[in-house]
């Protein structure tokens, strides 16, 4: 149980275009989802916290107008990279927290999206 599906797994886009990444909790309701960015051989950097029905909370240094997050339902959060540039190329990972398992239950991660901007 507790499966998180992230789509697409990889995407190549041209500079200036926008890309949407979806994160779905398949068998549970996710009151909170998190979006991370990971550079090669580095750790995960939290970009933003997404709460269902409210605005996302962005970490310092993350441009909210560039990385649009929408958490319209308890099972879906989307990250849209707007006007993508080559420096946005990275591995983006979402995770979800099961609201019914307490605050110290583990996070469940998607398999990530490899974004390459040419």
Partner 1 sequence: SQQGEEDPQALSIQEGENATMNCSYKTSINNLQWYRQNSGRGLVHLILIRSNEREKHSGRLRVTLDTSKKSSSLLITASRAADTASYFCATDGNAGNMLTFGGGTRLMVKP
Q: How far is the CB of 46 from partner 1 (least distance, A)?
A: 7
Residues in a beta bridge with 25: 4
Residues that bind partner 1 (CB under 8 A): 4, 6, 32, 34, 41-46, 49, 91, 93, 95, 97, 103-112, 114
Q: How far is the CB of 83 from partner 1 (least distance, A)?
A: 26
**Reduced to 3 states, what is the DSSP secondary structure of residue 55?**
coil
Residue 46 or 82 having the CB closest to partner 1:
46
Residue 74 or 82 having the CB closest to partner 1:
74
Residue 18 or 116 having the CB closest to partner 1:
116
CA–CA gap between residue 69 and residue 92 (Å, rounded): 13
Q: How far is the CB of 106 from partner 1 (least distance, A)?
A: 4
Residue 93 or 117 having the CB closest to partner 1:
93
Q: How far is the CB of 91 from partner 1 (least distance, A)?
A: 7
Half-sphere exposure of 88 (CA within 13 A, CB side): 25
Residues 92 and 79 sit within 8 Å (Cβ to Cβ): yes
**Reduced to 3 states, what is the DSSP secondary structure of residue 106?**
coil
Q: Which residues lie closer than 8 Å to 60 by C-beta, 6 or more apart? A: none
């Amino acid at each position: 149980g507790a499966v998180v599906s992230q789509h697409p797994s990889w995407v190549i886009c041209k500079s200036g275009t926008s890309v949407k990444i979806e994160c779905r909790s398949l068998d549970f309701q996710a009151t909170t989802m998190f979006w991370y960015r990971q550079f090669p051989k580095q750790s995960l950097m939290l970009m933003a916290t997404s709460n269902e029905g409210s605005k996302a909370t962005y970490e310092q240094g993350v441009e909210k107008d560039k990385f649009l997050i929408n958490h319209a339902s308890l099972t879906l959060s989307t990250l849209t990279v707007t006007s993508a540039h080559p420096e946005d190329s990275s591995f983006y990972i979402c995770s979800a927290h099961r609201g019914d398992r307490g605050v110290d239950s583990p996070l469940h991660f998607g398999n990530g999206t490899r974004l390459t901007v040419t």
